[in-house]
Chains A and B, each alone.
Chain A
Amino acid sequence: METVIGLFNYWIVIVLMMAGFYIVIAQENMIKKMVGLSIFQVAVFVFYISMSNVFGGTAPIAAEGFTLYSNPLPHVLILTAIVVGVATTALGLALIVRIKEEFGTIEDDRIRDMEEHGEESEA
């Protein structure tokens, strides 16, 4: 039981990661692939934040009467990663909008078909 509680966060993190991974490799719609990537990303964030947590610890803002704090370092890494993540997601979405303009579809397999049959494949 203690092992289950102690490792439960990591197991769910892995479930979330694999859900995102499945979307990226098995589904063709590019917007959905971006959602899958962001699920994967959040899974990594939850993993880091879970590792930084200390039982009985408080948020890492120094205050009178507290001695036990969570580890601030993963918080810093993830805080910046979230904002960078949305900026790169925006870049990916911008590329998707351009792909739609150029190919008329955002389904990965149809674009691949077009390129193989050489219709309108010039970018």
Chain B
Amino acid sequence: MNRHSILRVVAKLMIPYILLFALYVQFHGDFGPGGGFQAGVIFAAAFILYALIFGIENGRKVMPARVNRILLAGGVLLYCFVGLAGIFLGSEFLDYNVLGPTPVAGQHYGILLVELGVGLTVSSTMIAIFYVFAGQDI
């Protein structure tokens, strides 16, 4: 893909905005359409675009497979720990009311963290699946 300079330049311009948009969707999902699932996929799309244009080996340098696998499990664990935090603070599993000074604030923290966990897992799953598919050279 070295000769496609238009693709390379446009991709370089697009990728930061795709990442920014993913973060917006992630953290603004409480107020408008969006949330962890969508943000995760958009975040992954930026890495996939990079790997498509600049080659899979360069893609692996940007997001090493090992880091990606840690994030893959980390998202699920973050979700579980938010649930367990509810137990340790004296309530039930996944009860966010006790996470903050008031129930509404607690709900806000809980939902933000849980969505972050969802976003991490979804994005690293999509990146992992793409890398594995693209890395096959039959």
Seen from chain A, the residues whose Cβ lies within 8 Å of a Cβ on chain B are: 59, 61, 79-80, 82-83, 87, 90, 93-94, 97, 100-101
Contact of A61 (CB < 8 Å), options: B33, B129, B132? B33
B80: shortest Cβ distance to chain A, in Å? 17
Interface of chain B, main secondary structure: helix
Q: Contact: A94 with B133, CB < 8 Å?
A: yes
Q: Is the C-beta of B25 less than 8 angstroms from some C-beta in chain A? A: no
Give the residues in chain A near B116, CB-CB below 8 Å: none
Q: Contact: A101 with B41, CB < 8 Å?
A: no
5 A-B residue pairs with Cβ-Cβ distance under 8 Å, sorted by A, are: A83-B40, A87-B129, A90-B129, A94-B133, A97-B136
B122 (CB) vs chain A CBs: closest residue? A83
Contact of A83 (CB < 8 Å), options: B31, B32, B41, B138? B41
Q: Contact: B129 with A59, CB < 8 Å?
A: no
Q: Contact: A94 with B132, CB < 8 Å?
A: yes
Q: Contact: A83 with B37, CB < 8 Å?
A: yes
